[in-house]
Amino acid sequence: MAAALTACLAVFLACASVYAGTMWCVRLFLYQSWVGLTPDNVGVHFTGPVKAATRFFTILFPIATVSGVAVLALSWWSWASLAIAVSLAWLYITLGVFRRYLVPVNTRIEESRDPHELTTELGKWMHWNNVRWMTTTAVWVAAVWCVLAAGDVGRVTR
């Protein structure tokens, strides 16, 4: 059981790290490059990468969920179970922000032919993406807390 918990913790932490790392990269490095977006180049510099990321995270999200639920089951009533429950909650809050706020804005950005509208919608996207950046960071922090709380996984699974 300790090996299963270790494997599930590793998978969940890897998923959380990839997700948080992507959000930090977007926040720190890509925002600046979007000041020159126009209806002519938005597909190459924004829409294409956003669609690729969405496809990737559509696969990663269920893997994170399954591994997180497995950690919860394998570490039930330990500090690790509390930490993974918090991390899973933040993960689903992040998904909610994406679906509720970012998907509609993504569509408007993709369809925009007016430079002013594009700038306005991109500002909205950055606002909601900043929220997602914070929630994704919370997922990662709670995932690290979970790994630290598990400590000696042999002890947690006894």
What average pLDDT is seen over the chain? 92
Own/partner contacts of 22-26, CB < 8 Å, gap of 24 or more, are 22/53, 22/57, 23/129, 23/132, 23/133, 23/136, 23/137, 24/133, 24/137, 26/129, 26/133
Q: What is the mean pLDDT of residues 33-38?
A: 86
What is the model's pLDDT at position 78?
Answer: 85
Q: Read off the pLDDT band of 36 (50, 70, 90).
A: confident
What is the model's pLDDT at position 79?
Answer: 85
pLDDT digits (tens, 9 = 90+) for 124-156: 999 999 999 999 999 999 999 999 888 766 666
For residue 147, is it left (φ>0), alpha (ψ between -120 and 50) or beta? Answer: alpha
pLDDT digits (tens, 9 = 90+) for 38-74: 999 999 999 999 999 999 999 999 999 999 999 999 9
pLDDT digits (tens, 9 = 90+) for 95-127: 999 999 999 999 999 999 999 999 999 999 999
